[in-house]
Amino acid sequence: MSLKIIHTADWHLGQTFFGYDREAEHDAFLIWLANTLKEQQTDILLIAGDIFDVANPSAFAQHRFYRFLREAKAGCPHLQIVIIGGNHDSAARLEAPLPLLEELNTTIVGMVKRTKTGEIDYDSLLCPLYNREGKQEALCLCVPYLRQGDYPPAEEAEENSFMAGVQRLYQKLTNYAKQQLMPEHALIAMGHLYAGSAELSENDRSERIIIGGLESIPPETFDESLAYTALGHIHKAQRVGARDSVRYSGSPLPMSFSETKYNHQVVSIQIEKGKAVSICPVSIPTCVELLRIPTTPQTPEEVLSSLSTLPDKTDDNVQSCPYLEVRVLLTAPDPGFRHRVEEAIKNKAVRLTSIVTSYPKNEVNDTFSPLTFSDLQNISPVTMLEHAFTAKFGNELPEEIKDLFNNVVREVQQ
């Protein structure tokens, strides 16, 4: 027999993007996912953490999550859903409705539980996976986001770092699961963590990686006997350590403008006789476009000219309007530029998120020497301003600004 699995993660329900809510985008994704589960006759849905964007999600975000679970099961009655908690989730909140969700064949592991003697309850981290006929085909290691103390203590001569502790937990849990594994059953793992070789999305504010990689976990943590390892936490879909069977599915929605040409996905896995015979990404349709105008920074006049060519609004529904990042090249301060941008797009079918300012690189910047402590003791305020202006913009301070500054200085000194 075989087992069809879909792996996804990092939904971040309730998230805002530069202040804009993403309800329409999340709805579109969840509708698409429910239809995909039905079309592919999926047996197992693995959600590897960060269901919500914050530990105390809004009622609307929770409603959206539970509505999806109901609709996914209605379209695919034999579907089994397995969920682990992420660092953005509240473990207790995720597990609270379990008595009801178990009726929907849904398992949630939000935290590492302990036995009465204080030992890790490894049984609570294991979940058998069944095919559509109700026969077990695999055993899943359901490891949520781990915090200090969630892993087994170090033995004598063992390293006691976070990384070593996470490795110990996976090793002990894998060995424990192997003792219960039946012949031709697959061993699957889930995790919400930062694998040290993973590539991060540029400027993704929601990927919080500890400085120096202190929480990074080496790919060798995941035993070679695992048929597939479904990871969450990193928002860019990728293989880990060149191992095709260890993957991040990535987030379903873009988290930064570095993803303008990046196809978001879920991962489809086919298990047969304990092995992954097929691992294929399934592209998620783009719901809202990311626009960078211009593609490379240009002068304010060129930028405003480009903005004038954008399509006009046709209705009041802004939820489907592209997000806009404006990129401008400045050679002098332009405090009124944002207002001119806002006026230029007032009736355009876009949503302004940010204005990214760049400055020309020239010989002045390359040869400019910083002020010494002695210079700072003797320098006049206007000379300091001239120095700072040239260092930033590569040009001399305009006379108009110099005169205004001198007037301010005189008023202060009077």
Q: What is the pLDDT of residues 225-263, one digit of tens each?
A: 999 999 999 999 999 988 899 999 999 999 988 888 888
Rounded Cα distance, 103 and 107, in Å = 10
Rounded Cα distance, 159 and 164, in Å = 6
Q: Is the pLDDT of residue 404 over 70?
A: yes
pLDDT attached to residue 235: 92
**Residue 303 or 162, more confident:** 303
pLDDT attached to residue 394: 67
**Token pair belonging to 64:** 């959206």
> Is the alpha carbon torsion for 314, 318, 319, 323 positive or negative?
positive
pLDDT band of residue 211 (cuts 50, 70, 90) is very low
Average pLDDT, the chain: 89
The amino acid present at 354, given as its one-letter code, is S
pLDDT attached to residue 370: 64
Question: What average pLDDT does the segment 106-135 reach?
Answer: 95
Burial class of residue 237, CB neighbours in 10 A (0-12, 13-18, 19+): buried
pLDDT attached to residue 400: 78
pLDDT band of residue 210 (cuts 50, 70, 90) is very low
pLDDT attached to residue 174: 96
Q: pTM for this structure?
A: 0.86
Question: What average pLDDT does the segment 300-319 reach?
Answer: 90
Rounded Cα distance, 51 and 14, in Å = 9
pLDDT attached to residue 372: 65
Rounded Cα distance, 107 and 80, in Å = 8
pLDDT attached to residue 412: 81
Cis peptide upstream of residue 322 (ω within 30 degrees of 0):
no
pLDDT band of residue 383 (cuts 50, 70, 90) is confident
271, β-bridge pairs: 3, 276
pLDDT band of residue 212 (cuts 50, 70, 90) is very low
Q: 110, 85 in Cβ contact below 8 A?
A: yes
Q: How many CB atoms lie under 10 A from the CB of residue 355?
A: 15
Q: Is the pLDDT of residue 123 over 70?
A: yes
When mean pLDDT is compared across 107-116, 173-182, 207-216, the lowest value belongs to: 207-216
Go through the domains of the chain in sequence order and give each one's CATH number: 2-283 (3.60.21.10), 290-358 (3.30.160), 363-413 (no CATH)
pLDDT band of residue 363 (cuts 50, 70, 90) is low
> Is the alpha carbon torsion for 194, 200, 203, 206 positive or negative?
negative
pLDDT attached to residue 376: 63
Angle at 241 between CA 239 and CA 246, to 5 degrees: 45
Question: What average pLDDT does the segment 61-88 reach?
Answer: 96
**Token pair belonging to 348:** 């355009």
Burial class of residue 51, CB neighbours in 10 A (0-12, 13-18, 19+): buried
pLDDT attached to residue 55: 95
pLDDT attached to residue 188: 97
Rounded Cα distance, 377 and 233, in Å = 50
pLDDT band of residue 214 (cuts 50, 70, 90) is low
Rounded Cα distance, 302 and 294, in Å = 9
When mean pLDDT is compared across 82-96, 284-298, 381-395, the lowest value belongs to: 381-395
Q: What is the 3-state secondary structure (H, E, C) of the chain?
A: CEEEEEEECCCCECCEECCEECHHHHHHHHHHHHHHHHHCCCCEEEEECCCECCCCCCHHHHHHHHHHHHHHHHHCCCCEEEEECCCCCCHHHHHCCHHHHHHHCEEEECCCCECCCCCECHHHHEEEEECCCCCEEEEEEECCCCCCCCCCCCCCCCCCCHHHHHHHHHHHHHHHHHHHCCCCCEEEEEEECEECCCCCCCCCCCCCCCHHHCCEECHHHCCCCCCEEEEECCCCCEEECCEEEEEECCCCCCCCHHHCCCCCEEEEEEEECCEEEEEEEEECCCCCCEEEEEEEEECHHHHHHHHCCCCECCCCCCCCCCEEEEEEECCCCCCCHHHHHHHHCCCECCEEEEEEEECCCCHHHHHCCCCCHHHHHHCCHHHHHHHHHHHHHCCCCCHHHHHHHHHHHHHHHC
pLDDT in tens, 17-64: 999 999 999 999 999 999 999 999 999 999 999 999 999 999 999 999
357, β-bridge pairs: 328
When mean pLDDT is compared across 59-68, 80-89, 137-146, 401-410, the lowest value belongs to: 401-410
Q: 99, 125 in Cβ contact below 8 A?
A: no
pLDDT attached to residue 204: 61
pLDDT in tens, 156-207: 777 778 888 999 999 999 999 999 999 889 999 999 999 877 787 666 655 6
> What percent of the chain lies above the pLDDT cut of 70?
91
